[in-house]
Amino acid sequence: MRVEMATSREQAKAGRDETRRLRLAIAGFGTVGSAVTRILMEQGDSSPFELAFILNRRVAEKRVDWVPGSVHWTDNIDEVLDSDIDVLVELAGGLDPTGTWVRRALASGKSVVTANKALIAAEGVALSELACRHR
């Protein structure tokens, strides 16, 4: 019988690594994005999630002092996708640029969570197929 050790990323995907926190990037810091961020911040270290990035246009106008300095603010999706985040949480809404962000995240093997009904209605089947291909 041969036993192989899984990497921490494989363990996290399989739900077997109890100590590793999933690294999140929130795309969109409007009403919903800022509320989700606040909830994550209130959970502190007990949260199974670590907020790593906030992606938003006009970052200088959106930055708030209650988000820790460890969270990187950017308006560049490449910076987010080139990082070691596990999940892109898309909360910006609409089809553009969010559709591009979600497609690129899925194509790069990132998981995506979205509440964007317009995007799902317009591209849901194609996004699902893309996610399956890049798992």
pLDDT digits (tens, 9 = 90+) for 78-107: 999 999 999 999 999 999 999 999 999 999
Q: What's the rounded Cα separation, in Å, for the pair 105 and 77?
A: 9
Model confidence, pTM: 0.83
**Regions in the chain scoring below 70 on pLDDT:** 1-18
Cβ–Cβ under 8 Å, residues 13 and 87: no
Cβ–Cβ under 8 Å, residues 87 and 102: no
The pLDDT value recorded for residue 57 is 92
Q: What's the rounded Cα separation, in Å, for the pair 72 and 133?
A: 29
